[in-house]
Amino acid sequence: MMRMRRWLGVIVAAGLVLLLAAGCGSGKQTARYTADGKVILRVSMYNDSSFPEWRAYVEKQCPDVYIEWENNRNAIANVLYQQKYGDMPDLVAIRRFESDSAAKLAPYLADLSSLELTGTYEDKYLTTYQEDGKQYWLPGPGVVDGIVADKDLFDRYGVALPTDLDSFVAACDALKAAGVDPLCIDAGESWTPTMLIQGFGCAGHLSTAGGAKWIGRFTAGDASSVDAAGMSAIADTLRTLRDHGILTADDLKVSGSDASARLIAGQTAMVRRTSDESVDLAHTHTYVYLPFFGKTAADSRLYTYPVFSVAMSKAACDDDAVAKAAKEVMTAMLDQGGQKVLDQSGEGLISYSKGVKLDDTGVMAGVQDLIAQDRCFIRVLVANSFSANAQALKALLSDNADNQAFCSVLDKNLFKTVTPAKVGVSGMTADNVPDDDMVSHSASIIAQVVQGQCGADCVIMDVREAAAPIYRGTYTTADVDSVVFSDAVYMASITGSELKTLLDDGLLAATTFQNGIREPLVDYPALGGLTAVMGKDGQVASLSLAGSQGLDAERTYKVAISDKIYKGVTALGNSRAADFKKTGKTLKDYFMDGFKADGSLPQPQAYFKVQ
C-alpha cells in the first residue's frame, strides 16, 4: 500500500501531477513517475533529517530521480513492520545494524554482489553484511566510537597520554590525585555499555582467533551463550576500571550532553564521543582520540561501525526504471564523493572502500596509524545487544557481579526470544510524517492513548517518538514495538500559564539544532488532549483542552511529557522542568496497555490549528 498523503505531498512539493504507469507481468511493481518523467524513489534513512549537504549531493548526482526521504528511526524492525503491511521502501539505510534482524529482512532484499559499486570495497569489510553468501548490504564510511581526551588537562598536570591498559589506569590515577575527574562516561545512553564491553573486548579476546570464531557463530545466529572465557576477561578489565574509580555506578545515570558539558567546562579529562560529530564546536581545548587499550600498545584497537549501511528492496528490482534509479542513488550515496561529503561535519570518518582516504580535523591524528594498520573492529549487534549489555554493566558496577554472574546476565538477556502476542485491531492507516499543519496522525493516536492511560489532562511528546505509521490490521506486541519508542514519561501538575511556557519551550527544543550534534531537530511535538492554535509564524496563540473553550492560566493541570521533550525543556532551563518526575512506565507501556484494554485505537486529532 502506498501512503497517499506522502504522494500528494510530493505533488505539492514538486508542482507536478503524479502519474502511475502500470507494470507488465505477474507481481510487477507499479512504477511511480512525476509529470516530467522522474522516477519517485523512496529512500528510508535512519534519520530523515541527517546529513543535509550529503542529501543535496545525492540529489544533484541523480537529477532524473525524485527522492522521497523517509525515516525508519534506525531500526530494521521498523522496515520489517512496513514490509508486513506492503509498505516496503526502495532503499533502506540503517545505522544500528543487527545481524538477527537483518537475516529476517534478507528475503525481501536484492543481492548486490554483481553491482559495480560492490567491487569498490575491500572484501574483508563486506562479509559482515552478507547472508548465505549474498551481499544484501553495503556499508557507508566508518564512525570511530571511543574515548576523547582533553590534551590540555593532561599537559597541565604533566600526565602522559596512555599507550596501553596499564598506562591508561595509571594516567587516570594521576589525574585523580591532581583533583581532576579522569573519565566521565555517558553510560546512561543506551549504546554506551555496548561500546565499553565490545571496545575493551576488541582490544583483547574479541580480536583473537577464538573471539573471531565466537563472533562468527554469534552473528550467524548459532550461539546460545557468550564465550565465558572471553567475556570474563572483558569483565576483569571493566572491574579494574571500577576498582580504580574510573568507572562508577554513577556513570549509569550520565547522558551524552552531561558528559560533553563537563568536558567543555574542563571538569573531566575524557569522555566518550563518536567521530561523525564535533567534540566541541568552539574548540575550547585541544582534543585527541584514544584507542581502546589492551595489555600492550600492539593490542590497541579502534571500535568502529558504518555511519549507516544500505540495502535495496527486491521489489524495486521488479521494475527496470525503479531498479536503475535505485542503483544510481545507492552509488551516489556511497561513492567516494558521497563519502567525502559525509566526512565534512565531524572529526573524521574511515572508508571501507579501496584506495579512499578521508580527511580528519586533527583530533584523530593519534589513531591514524591504527587505521592504516587496519586495527579496527566493527561493532556486532543483535536486537537485544543494547539492553543486555546495559544490564550486564549495571550488574558489574552497581551489584559487584563476579564473572559468572556477569556472563549469566548476558546469557539471559542477549539470547532471549519473545513470541509476539495479539494486542488489538487498528481500523485505520495513520502516517507518522507530519502534514502541512505539522500534525502527525500516528503520534496523535499514541498521545491520546498515553493520556488516557496515565490520567493526565494532556500529553506533550516528541513526534519522532512515533516510530512508524499505524496501518489498518491486527497488531501484535512486535508491531507495537515498531510503532512507538520505549521512552520514559514524566508527569507534574502545573498551571495553565506554565503549560503555555512549557509548550513554547518544547516547540523551540524540537525545531532547533543541539550543540555539538550534526542532526537538526525539525519536527514539532505531538499533543494529546490539547489543541494549540498557532499563527503562521509558528507561535502558539492559544491553548485549549479537549472539550473546553480555553486554558485557564491560573488553574492547575496534570501534564505528561515524553523523555525527548523533558530533555529539551530541561536544556532550555524551563522553570518547571525539574518538577516533572518519571512515572515508571514508558510511552510504549502506556500505549500497549491502552491498545490491549480497548482492542482498538482512537481517531487522530488535529492538535495544531494554524490561523
Q: DSSP letter string over 528-583?
A: ESEEEEE-TTS-EEEEEETTSSS--SSSEEEEEEEHHHHHHHHHTT-TTGGG-EEE
Return the pLDDT at 516. 40
Q: What band does 539 get if pLDDT is binned at 50, 70 and 90?
A: confident
Contact 170, 162 (CB under 8 A): yes
pLDDT higher at 127 or 11: 127
In this predicted structure, the answer to whether residue 28 has a pLDDT above a threshold of 70 is no
Residue 440 backbone class (left: φ over 0; alpha: ψ -120 to 50; beta: rest)? beta
Identify which of 28-32, 49-53, 556-560 has the greatest average pLDDT.
556-560
Q: Which residues contact 11 (CB under 8 A, 6 or more apart)?
A: 17, 18
Superfamily of domain 422-610: 5'-Nucleotidase, C-terminal domain (3.90.780.10)
In this predicted structure, the answer to whether residue 582 has a pLDDT above a threshold of 90 is yes
* Model confidence, pTM: 0.85
First and final C-alpha spacing in the chain: 33
Contact 491, 583 (CB under 8 A): yes
Return the pLDDT at 29. 41
pLDDT higher at 47 or 221: 221
Q: Please, where in the chain does CATH 3.40.190.10 lie? A: 4-140+307-342, 143-306+360-414
Q: Which residues of 99-121 are buried (b: 16+ CB within 10 A; e: fewer)?
A: bbbbbebbebbbbbeebebbebb
Q: Does domain 4-140+307-342 have CATH number 3.40.50.300?
A: no
Query: What CATH number does the domain located at 143-306+360-414 have?
Result: 3.40.190.10
Q: Determine the 3-state secondary structure of 91 from DSSP.
A: strand
The C-alpha atoms of residue 472 and residue 179 are separated, in whole angstroms, by 60
Q: What band does 72 get if pLDDT is binned at 50, 70 and 90?
A: confident
Q: Please, where in the chain does CATH 3.90.780.10 lie? A: 422-610
Q: Of the ranges 227-241, 384-398, 518-532, which one carries the lowest mean pLDDT score? A: 518-532
Q: Work out the average pLDDT over 137-147.
A: 97
In this predicted structure, the answer to whether residue 22 has a pLDDT above a threshold of 50 is no
Q: What is the DSSP-derived secondary structure letter of residue 319? A: S
In this predicted structure, the answer to whether residue 514 has a pLDDT above a threshold of 60 is no
Q: What band does 51 get if pLDDT is binned at 50, 70 and 90?
A: confident
Q: Which residues contact 18 (CB under 8 A, 6 or more apart)?
A: 7, 8, 10, 11, 32, 33, 34, 35, 40
Q: Work out the average pLDDT over 201-225.
A: 94
Q: Which residues contact 436 (CB under 8 A, 6 or more apart)?
A: none
Q: What is the DSSP-derived secondary structure letter of residue 466? A: B
Return the pLDDT at 49. 66
**Helices 192-202 and 385-398: crossing angle, nearest 10°?**
80
Q: Work out the average pLDDT over 184-208.
A: 96
> Of all residues in the chain, what percent carry a pLDDT higher than 70?
93
Q: What band does 31 get if pLDDT is binned at 50, 70 and 90?
A: low
> Of all residues in the chain, what percent carry a pLDDT higher than 90?
81
Average pLDDT of every residue of the chain: 90
Residue 599 backbone class (left: φ over 0; alpha: ψ -120 to 50; beta: rest)? left
Q: What band does 163 get if pLDDT is binned at 50, 70 and 90?
A: very high
C-alpha cell at 552: 485557564
Q: What is the DSSP-derived secondary structure letter of residue 353? A: B
